[in-house]
Amino acid sequence: MATTNWAAEYELLAARLTDRGVDLGAVETALKAQQVETPSWGYADSGTRFGVFRQPGAPRDVFEKFEDAAQANQYTGIAAGVAVHIPWDTADWGKLAQYAHSLGVSVGAINPNVFQDYDYRFGSFGSERADVRARAVAHMKECVDVMNVVGSKNISLWFADGTNFPGQGDFRRRKQYFSECLAELYGALAGDQTLLVEYKPFEPSFYHTDIADWGMSYAFCQKLGPNAKVLVDLGHHLPGANIEHIVAFLLDEGRLGGFHFNNRKYADDDLTTGSINPYELYLIFNELVAGEQAGIANNIAYMIDESHTLKNKTAEMIQSLVALQTSYAKALLIDRAALRVAQESDDLVGAEEIIKDSFASDVRPLLWKVRSDLNLPNPADPLRGFLESGYIEEKAKERGVGGGSGLGA
């Protein structure tokens, strides 16, 4: 099998892009600066509600999760942050931050958990019980304390709160409880810390969810202040939702604070990023890049959040990171000046062809060049580099089977 001469391929691509007027230096600088956090829980054993599926070499504690996360960063160069989930993750947080630094990564967003304990079965911030609401707020404040120790700037909130039956709860009263609890938490943040509010239309509650869509999240954030922003999760939308439109709207409002990447076929977010609808992912990046160039999308917390149940965890993480690099690269190549001319002249066909042209571009030589400049181990194929490194086999021998679950099980 012939070996691709990536240097030659890059020179050909660079010539074509230069002829089109693309500022290749700016594109490569943006790609080198791209950062997407990976989740600590994504490296641990996981499963379904029917059971946890153990894998050889799965990490047994948060320190080993960070070891695996460092591998994903080592081969892609864009995953230096690692989000943690409390209390799924427990540690001497100062020690963990130091260990992360030694691995070339850092502790990223802090994710509290107010959806698994028995007390939260009827809600956390939306509970009718004042003691349960107080407990949930106290846990969130403990997470803020962790942020202060490790230097994290984002606390990422997702709530399972909702009801399964008509009449089970009062919509307006629960909304008011949420406003009160969120305001108390927001008041505990430092001036450079951001509160990210996620939403989800359904599951585990199937009659109503207290924060069911981006508009509800947006309304809560508007009341809280400028450091409260909406967190968009690619899998948390009803079928047919135009997610790129949501992204553009929130960007224009200055309220897009974070993005969780994954993919779905039916519901939720349990599939590899880019595995089902790569064109949708690209269209989302089209809006994100447009926002970057307008100066309104330069401080967004990007993270992967998907359930790696059957694949090797680190390998799937690398697959997702490469998909994100690829979509970002393609979106950076869109001829935005020509696109605006087509839009302003109502040239529907021309505008769509400009979008499709960049999506069809083979950006592998460009990504090879960027990764080469970053001195990554296998710039042409990060996934192959990892799979052939022997790391999976080494950790299977070292750790055995029966690591800790990423879902607290």
Q: Does residue 14 lie in a domain region?
A: no
Place of tokens 């149940």: 309
- pLDDT of 408 reads 46
Q: Does residue 243 lie in a domain region?
A: yes
* 3-state secondary structure (DSSP) of residue 233: strand
Place of tokens 């083979």: 362
Return per-residue pLDDT of the chain as tens, 409 residues.
578 999 999 999 999 999 999 999 999 999 999 999 999 999 999 888 788 889 999 999 999 999 999 999 999 999 999 999 999 999 999 999 999 999 999 999 999 999 999 999 999 999 999 999 999 999 999 999 999 999 999 999 999 999 999 999 999 999 999 999 999 999 999 999 999 999 999 999 999 999 999 999 999 999 999 999 999 999 999 999 999 999 999 999 999 999 999 999 988 877 999 999 999 999 999 999 999 999 999 899 999 999 788 999 999 999 999 999 999 999 999 999 999 999 999 999 999 999 999 999 999 999 999 999 999 999 999 999 999 999 999 999 999 997 665 554 3
DSSP β-bridge partners for residue 84: 110
* 3-state secondary structure (DSSP) of residue 179: helix
Q: How far is CA 405 from the centre of its chain?
A: 20
Q: Does residue 404 lie in a domain region?
A: no
Q: Does residue 15 lie in a domain region?
A: no
Q: Which domain holds residue 262?
A: 26-399
pLDDT one-digit tens code per residue, 108-129? 999 999 999 999 999 999 999 9
Q: Which residues of 16-175 form beta strands (DSSP E)?
A: 38-39, 46-48, 51-53, 81-86, 106-112, 154-157, 162-163
| Cα 96 to Cα 149: distance, rounded to the nearest angstrom | 10
- pLDDT of 49 reads 78
| Cα 303 to Cα 51: distance, rounded to the nearest angstrom | 26
| Cα 108 to Cα 222: distance, rounded to the nearest angstrom | 24
Q: Does residue 283 lie in a domain region?
A: yes
- pLDDT of 50 reads 84
CATH code for the domain in which residue 61 is found: 3.20.20.150
Give the tokens for residue 207.
């009659």
In eight-state DSSP terms, residue 45 is: B
Beta-carbon contacts of residue 31 (< 8 Å; ≥ 6 apart): 325, 328, 329, 332, 366, 367, 370
Size of the chain, expressed as the number of residues it contains: 409
| Cα 359 to Cα 333: distance, rounded to the nearest angstrom | 9
Whether 57 and 82 have beta carbons less than 8 Å apart is answered as no
pLDDT one-digit tens code per residue, 180-196? 999 999 999 999 999 99
Whether 396 and 56 have beta carbons less than 8 Å apart is answered as yes
Structural domain total, the chain: 1
Beta-carbon contacts of residue 245 (< 8 Å; ≥ 6 apart): none
Residue among 107, 34, 48 at smallest CA distance from 261: 34
Q: Does residue 16 lie in a domain region?
A: no
Q: Does residue 6 lie in a domain region?
A: no
| Cα 196 to Cα 356: distance, rounded to the nearest angstrom | 33
Question: Within 13 Å, how many C-alpha atoms sit on residue 49's CB side?
Answer: 3
Q: With residue 284 as reference, give the H or E element that holds it.
A: helix 278-293
Q: Does residue 3 lie in a domain region?
A: no
